Amino acid sequence: MTMNEGIYLMKKELPCSPKDIRLLKYALPSTLGNAEAEEMAARILMFSREREQWVGVSYNKLIQAMEDDLEKDRLAQEKWAQEVREYNRTRRKHILTLGLSKKPNLPIKKEKPFSLISVMGLWPLKKGLAQLIENEWVNVYESVLYPSESLIRRIMEVQHIK
């Protein structure tokens, strides 16, 4: 059953609710023993967390979301670079006018959740997805990725969820 484009309601019940899992955006630390697999699992589980029910996500929607994150990161880096250039220009003007012009405010870089994508691109996360599938932590049906019961039980064990 499709909820909306690329999101599919799970028919199978899992041992806990998506709300029970402590999930950081793009991170499920010290859970699966591999940062790439942990980030991919977190990304897949985030769709369920946002909808407060277990869902699967199409491979295409997942990849598109990651490509969107890459683009947002690129735009944020460009904006930050522009702010730094403007700060330096204004600072030089302030110094050259012996402090008579307005002193510039140092730009503040906005923090964003860490993602391997911003450091390494998409390839390592595709490798992480392959590991999730190989370890049967994600079930694939017609290119839709569903969290598996073994993944949820592993998370429950590590996070001490009863």
Q: Over the range 29-60, which residues count as b (16 or more CB within 10 Å of their CB) and which as e? A: eebbebbbbbbbbbbbbbbbbeeeebbbbbee
Confidence label for 155 from pLDDT (cuts 50, 70 and 90):
very high
Question: Cβ contacts of residue 129 below 8 Å, gap of 6+?
Answer: 37, 40, 138, 145
Q: What is the domain range of residue 10?
A: 2-159
Distance CA 132, CA 124 (A): 12
Strand blocks (E) in 63-159: 138-141, 144-147
Number of domain units in the chain: 1
Residue with tokens 């985030």: 46
8 A C-beta contact, residue 10 and residue 51? no
Classify burial at 132, counting beta carbons within 10 Å of its beta carbon; exposed 0-12, middle 13-18, buried 19 or more: buried
Q: Residue 59's pLDDT band (boundaries 50, 70, 90)?
A: very high
Q: How confident is the model at residue 1, as a pLDDT?
A: 58
| Residue 125 confidence (pLDDT) | 87
Cβ 131 vs Cβ 36: under 8 Å? yes
Residue 3, pLDDT score: 65
pLDDT exceeds cutoff 90 at 82 = yes
